[in-house]
Homo-oligomer: A and B are copies of this chain.
Amino acid sequence: MSLLQALAYFFWEAVRNLLRGWRISSLAVATTALSLFIGGTLVLLGTNLTRAVDQWRADAQVVIYLAEDASSDQLAALRSGLENSSVWTQVREVSPEQAQIRFKQRFPDLAQVAGDLERNPLPASIELRSRGSRVQVAAEIAELVRQGAVAEIDDDGEWLEKMEAAASVASLLGLLIGGILMIAAAISIASVVRLSTFVYRKEIAAMRLIGATEFFIRGPFVVEGLVQGVAGSVVALAALWLGYYGLGGLELPWFARGALLDFFLSGGQTSGLLALGGLAGLVGGLIPLRERTGVFG
């Protein structure tokens, strides 16, 4: 038999075995699918969470409340310092009047009360958005304080740090769990392939007894592993897709929507998932065949 014929033979034998032993093989397919599904969910989550944190970082503000007695020189110096710095991506002045309007929007119940006040107690402020590291931002803030026109500085950075830590813990955990699960998938496929060699040990022994080479005996099992792995990843992708668009139809808190549902897997991630499934299957199909002590001893 030529190599091509042999591969075709392996493939058909594998498909036949899988169809006949579908209860056995569905276990491996399910485990692989589950692993890749959870792995994929974590990748999806990681991607979306990272983007969300980036978004929040961009949204995070440093608010400078201006001292009421700041001189216009001081203010001009402050403004030009802010404009010329490369750290700030947005510099927006909020006058006491604007602050009051915003306040009324935020607490509509109090709009009347606020309007009644004899004097607007809200100070003028400048809202800044930053680019760059926390250290740079801190240095700039120090510089601002030095200028003297500043009454108070309110910085979202501390919270942002928490969110970033959360995102990085989530990513780390995702990688860890994903990795464990991929290994689990390979082991599971290996176990199923080994099992199927065990279930059919008599047949294998018979084939060997009548002169079949290891190549022909093992080939179908390797292909069986491969097919199971690929099948598992296809199932996982389908489930991810369904879950993604299924969640899309639900009422979710804005946060969850942002963190979960901004981006589906990219083409690269999709083919990566398929390749991982195939790899797990291939490894799973090969592991039990390397052992010289078992059925293939």
Question: Is the beta-carbon distance between B146 and A121 smaller than 8 angstroms?
Answer: no
- Top 9 closest pairs, chain A to chain B, by CB: A165-B255, A159-B159, A27-B191, A110-B142, A113-B146, A67-B121, A169-B256, A165-B253, A121-B151
A114 contact set on B, CB distance < 8 A: 145
Q: How far is the CB of A84 from chain B (nearest CB, A)?
A: 20
Is A107 interfacial (CB 8 A cutoff)?
yes
**How many A residues have CB within 8 A of the partner chain?**
67
Q: Can you list 24 A-B contacts (CB < 8 A)? A: A23-B198, A27-B187, A27-B192, A30-B184, A31-B184, A41-B177, A67-B121, A107-B138, A107-B141, A107-B142, A110-B142, A121-B148, A121-B151, A121-B152, A123-B152, A154-B154, A159-B162, A159-B163, A163-B163, A165-B255, A165-B256, A166-B166, A170-B170, A195-B195
Contacts of A47 in B (CB 8 A): none
A187 CB contacts on chain B under 8 angstroms: 27, 30
* Interface membership of A122, Cβ < 8 A: yes
Q: Which residues of B contact A177 (CB under 8 A)?
A: 38, 41
Cβ contacts under 8 Å, A294 to chain B: 23
Question: Is A230 among interface residues, defined by CB-CB distance under 8 A?
Answer: no
Give A117's nearest chain B residue, CB to CB: B148
Flag whether A188 is at the interface (Cβ < 8 A).
yes
- Cα A198 to Cα B119 in complex, Å, equals 86
CA distance A284 to B119 in the complex (A): 73
Kindly state whether residue A65 has any CB partner on chain B within 8 Å.
yes
Q: At the interface, is chain A mostly helix, strand, loop or mixed?
A: helix
Inter-chain contacts of A121 with B (CB < 8 A)? 67, 148, 150-152
Rounded to whole Å, the gap between the CB of A94 and the closest CB of chain B is 11
**Which chain B residues border A30 with CB–CB below 8 Å?**
184, 187
Q: Across the two chains, which residue of chain B brings its CB closest to A201? A: B199
Q: Is A73 on the interface with B (CB-CB < 8 A)?
A: no
A178-200, CB < 8 A from B: 180-181, 184, 187-188, 191-192, 194-195, 198-199
Interface assignment of A280: CB less than 8 Å from any CB of chain B: no
Chain B CB within 8 A of A109 CB: yes
Q: How far is the CA of A285 from the CA of B41 in the complex (A)?
A: 30
Q: How far is the CA of A195 from the CA of B194 in the complex (A)?
A: 12
Cα–Cα distance between A16 and B293 once the two chains are bound (Å): 21
Whether the Cβ atoms of B107 and A145 lie closer than 8 Å is yes
